[in-house]
Amino acid sequence: MPSGESLEPALSMVFRKLPGVSASGMGLRLSQKFVFLLFLSALVTLCFGALFFLPDSVRLKRIFLSKTETQPVTVGSGSENDVREHFKKPKEQDHPRGMTSAKGESSTRLKSLRRKPPLPPLATEERLSGGRAQEDLTLSRTRTESASEKASAADRGSDSDTFSYARFQRCLLKPPLGRDHGKPSDPRTDERREKVKEMMKFAWDNYKLYAWGKNELRPLTKNGHIGNIGASIIDSLDTLYIMGLMDEYNDAKEWVKTSLDLNSNGEASLFEVNIRYVGGLLAAYYLTGEEVFRSKVLELGEKLLPAFSTPTGIPRGVINLGSGTSWSWGWASAGSSILAEFGTLHLEFVHLTELSKNPIYTEKVMNIRKLLNKIEKPHGLYPNFLSPVSGNWVQHHVSIGGLGDSFYEYLIKSFLMSDKTDGDAKKMYYEAMEAIEANLVQKSPGGLTYMAEWRGGILDHKMGHLACFSGGMIGIGADDGAPEKRQHYLDLAAEITHTCHESYSPTKLGPEAFRFDDGGEATATRLNDRYYILRPEVIESYMYMWRLTHDPKYREWGWEAVQALEQHCRVEFGFSGIRDVYTTAVSHDNMQQSFFLSETLKYLYLLFSDDDLLPLEDWVFNTEAHPLPVIRKSCLQDEVTQEKAVSE
């Protein structure tokens, strides 16, 4: 029976078909009464069935469901039913298309990883072989910002159980793009900033021309890298927007709207999907208010939850977004999870909870933190490998570079993003810093400060390019430690950044790793450490140290890097990494990494901009340089209270 139709015609038809029944229903014999009751019970059953199965009966159906079926489950150690209970979707909605099987050419593997631990030698070799006028810019950006105004209008009157973009905007201390889009008053600095913007447009235009929709551009062969889920597009959204490249931004937004398919039967790195896709979509939404980014990121966040279905709640590193199955990396010790991977989820997952108002995301990452606080740490250090089954360390290898790096970054940034209310993150960060200083920080014979790696008590006097982010990390954490140690941390940050700058020689680009043994000083003594794949970490520290100290040397060092990128990495159809930073007769690796667009060029642009472009008081950058706003709970609650007072 169609929902909403009157039952009266149906009743009339039933009674007409009962023999010997008068219109008044009087004069029924016993057998007739029995038949009548039988039909009446069938009718009641039919009506109740309509309440539960017809599409318009959802509200009535809720009335009859037990409370336990509608309550969210408690998320503890990652039971396999967590996701099913929170997100029930019919199977026919799962369309495994767009991202094909891992066996095919368009596998979803994100092969050119940044924060992922160093690949085995064979995999590394495979990877290596392989502006408009101001008035037009204002008009273009206005078209985009109108969507943000619509979002603000839409959430007026919404309560505290719903995310309100308007409230979020009002709780920022400063406009995200500054008074004049961060334009510096110094003409030379502005000229340098414009050069970085030109580099971004050049890189983007070639990607769009030769690799559109693929993960990355291969600039020498003018084709796309494996994968059809547009890593370079998602990674570029916020960079294009803050640089005012609005035509390019709108092209990227349209691709997200029409072509980004989040179903996959191939393998994907939980970590890489989180920092690039979740981070990129979150940043694009917070900067623009475009609803397409919010809906896509919430859909994606839901798909990541099955990776946490382990006995400990520590997620496995690889996930099939289509089926929800997950597993550990084959090269990881004893099926372990990686510190830098499961420890680099907190910022994004807290914001997924903010947007969805579903606590499951925050509960998942807080469960990780709870376990890490509980287990014993050798000398206060966090080893890089942890079993998701037993919850115990698998090896005692500690690194501030690959395998460990962004775990520490997310501790201090979780504290900052919480408006400095997350005392647990603060405590964990400064305790880790004390252990790092006591065990890993070293001084070379030449006076360079570096962070060695720790292998069960034996120091390896090596520092990876990835570890060079730590200058900026230590710098932004200097203000919130013990007051008497503020200058100490600033000095340490400056020393680490200086050491990383010294590794940028003679091409003014730095190797993948450099050593401080056998008489070497910040030098790659091994052939397989000499490559540079457009990494951002050194430039990232320049940007933070500039904002913290305004020492002009950081801008000069950044300009050195711009010139080196132009001289050695710019090719006819994009930018490419190089195989050996110690020779000027460069050999290119034929890969324009997506993080070059997201991080390297963004950090350079910010370095040459005024500090009010994405001010650090309001924004925290995730490890892929996607800006996420500080969450001011007290301000948001005040906004709700004021809205209610006005409405009453």
- Which residues carry out catalysis? 272, 405, 512, 537
Select from 308, 223, 225 the least CA-distant residue to 274. 308
Strand positions, DSSP E, 549-609: 570-571, 574-575
Facing residues of 575 across strands?
570
Would the annotation count 258 as a binding residue? no
Q: Dihedral sign, CA of 177, 622, 111, 128?
A: positive
Angle CA 202–204–205, to nearest 5: 65
Helix axis angle, 279-288 relative to 291-304, nearest 10°?
A: 160
DSSP annotation of 264? B
Residues 6+ apart with CB under 8 A from 387: 312, 314, 334, 335, 336, 337, 393, 394
3-class SS letters over 162-211: CCCHHHHHHCCCCCCCCCCCCCCCCHHHHHHHHHHHHHHHHHHHHHHHHH
Reduced to 3 states (helix: H, G, I; strand: E, B; else coil), residue 312 is: coil
Select from 376, 443, 374, 437 the least CA-distant residue to 408. 437
Whole-angstrom Cα distance, residue 122 to residue 613? 42
CA distances from 321 to 148, 265, 282, 624 (A): 30, 7, 19, 21
Assigned token pair, 463: 């520092």
At 640, the amino acid letter reads V
Residues 6+ apart with CB under 8 A from 120: 331
DSSP sequence for 86-129? H----GGG----SBB-TTSTTB----S-SSSPPPPHHHHHHHHH
Select from 500, 515, 510 the least CA-distant residue to 554. 500
| Cβ-count burial 360-394 (b if 16+ within 10 Å, e if not) | bbbbbbbbbbebbeeeeeeeebbbbbbbbbebebb
CA distances from 86 to 80, 83, 306, 463 (A): 11, 5, 11, 43
Alpha carbon dihedral 359, 365, 367, 373, in 10-degree steps, equals -140
Angle CA 524–526–532, to nearest 5: 55
Which segments of 389-469 does DSSP mark as H helices, in order?
405-417, 423-439
Assigned token pair, 483: 């007051």
Facing residues of 621 across strands?
627
At 566, the amino acid letter reads E
Task: For 571, list phi and psi in degrees, rounded to 5.
Answer: -120, -175
Reduced to 3 states (helix: H, G, I; strand: E, B; else coil), residue 628 is: strand
Select from 525, 532, 564, 541 the least CA-distant residue to 493. 541
Residue list, annotated binding site for Ca(2+): 623
